[in-house]
Amino acid sequence: MLVEIRNLQVFYGKFQALEIDRPIRINEGERIGIIGSNGAGKTTLVKTLLGLTTYKGRVETRLKPQDMAAHLQFNHYVSTMSVRHVLETILDTSIKTNQRLRELIEYFEFEECLKKRYKSLSGGQKQRLTIIMVMMQDAPLTFYDEVTSGLDFETRQRLMEKLLQWYEGKSNTLCIVSHYYEELELLADHLLILDQGRVIDYGRKQELFQKYCGESIITLDANAENERLTASYRKLAAPAHLIALACREQAEEEELAGLLIRNNINFKRSSSDIEIMSVNAKAAYAKEHESGVSVND
């Protein structure tokens, strides 16, 4: 085991930002997506694992600070240094002789930025600089906190491809905070769902999907006609603009898909939809705390 969190509480002054009462264990090689709405405590958790907050409880790890690398939402470097100097000093290498680094610089089209001073980089360029540095560190425990926010669509896609390829078959443990569920569908194998400083659930992505959604789901637009047509099917909790229907087995899914096709209704089928899964996890958590029955029993 790489990290174990027990009875963790993090306060900012009197405000409690995080309370994790069930043990959370992170193992080598896991790719953990951390999700939750704004203010849920995601960054606070990342900072706590990095040793950057004061907390009550236990965070046990055999890793040393130098075994961790982090792309945080806000990174500060010496703003008057040239970017080339920042990169070479922090990574303790030379761009000329380090081929992996040169490849990353080329891949992220970062050559032009090397001459500039850090403070004159745009937000997206600063973001790319940090990504290159974090990838180059290849630390056993690596954090990416909203790594793609602020990047244009094409750069986001390229970054996802690169991250997938970079970590494929490697034992680095990744903790990835993201609001983009499609990224976590690609990169994460575990999910930690936070809400208002509490853990809603934590586990393997696929197991969580099955627990809250079943084998597969079908989503379609929420409108009166679609409501009427699907009235006899099992509905899941969903954002207001969607109807989400749970399918327990293939025959049920085929019957439903047939009905929608015959009525010329657009729909989406998924066996890994993180958004619908997390909405249902939150609903189950809220119900459990009303009734006192645990969904994790």
Ligand X SMILES: Nc1ncnc2c1ncn2[C@@H]1O[C@H](COP(=O)(O)OP(=O)(O)OP(=O)(O)O)[C@@H](O)[C@H]1O
> C-beta of 75: minimal distance to ligand X in Å?
15
Please give the single-letter amino acid code of residue 109. Answer: E
Rounded to 5°, angle at Cα 167 from 163 and 170: 175
Nearer to ligand X, 15 or 153 (CB): 15
- Check residue 52 for interaction with ligand X (CB under 6 A): no
- Check residue 42 for interaction with ligand X (CB under 6 A): yes
Binding piece for ligand X, criterion CB under 6 A, among 34-42, 100-108, 122-130, 253-261: 34-42
Nearer to ligand X, 178 or 280 (CB): 178
Binding piece for ligand X, criterion CB under 6 A, among 41-49, 63-71, 222-230, 263-271: 41-49
Binding piece for ligand X, criterion CB under 6 A, among 1-9, 33-41, 136-144, 238-246: 33-41
Nearer to ligand X, 159 or 177 (CB): 177
Nearer to ligand X, 39 or 258 (CB): 39
> C-beta of 174: minimal distance to ligand X in Å?
17
- Check residue 33 for interaction with ligand X (CB under 6 A): no
Binding piece for ligand X, criterion CB under 6 A, among 40-48, 132-140, 161-169, 240-248: 40-48
Within a 10 A sphere around the Cβ of 241, how many other Cβ atoms? 9
Show the 3-state SS of the chain: CCEEEEEEEEEECCEEEEEECCCEEECCCCEEEEECCCCCCHHHHHHHHCCCCCEEEEEEECCCHHHEEEECCCCCCCCCCEHHHHHHHHHCCCCCCCHHHHHHHHHCCCHHHHHCEHHHCCHHHHHHHHHHHHHHHCCCEEEEECCCCCCCHHHHHHHHHHHHHHHCCCCCEEEEECCCHHHHHHHCCEEEEEECCEEEEEEEHHHHHHHHHCCEEEEEECCHHHHHHCCCCCEECCCCCEEEEEECCHHHHHHHHHHHHHCCCCCEEECCCHHHHHHHHHHHHHHHHHHCCCCCC
Q: Among 43, 142, 219, 280, which residue interacts with ligand X (rule: CB under 6 A)?
A: 43
> C-beta of 34: minimal distance to ligand X in Å?
8
Q: Among 20, 31, 35, 41, which residue interacts with ligand X (rule: CB under 6 A)?
A: 41
Binding piece for ligand X, criterion CB under 6 A, among 42-50, 150-158, 218-226, 285-293: 42-50
- Check residue 36 for interaction with ligand X (CB under 6 A): yes
- Residues between 89 and 128 with contacts to ligand X, criterion CB under 6 A: none
| Sites of contact with ligand X (CB under 6 A) | 12, 15, 17, 36, 38-44
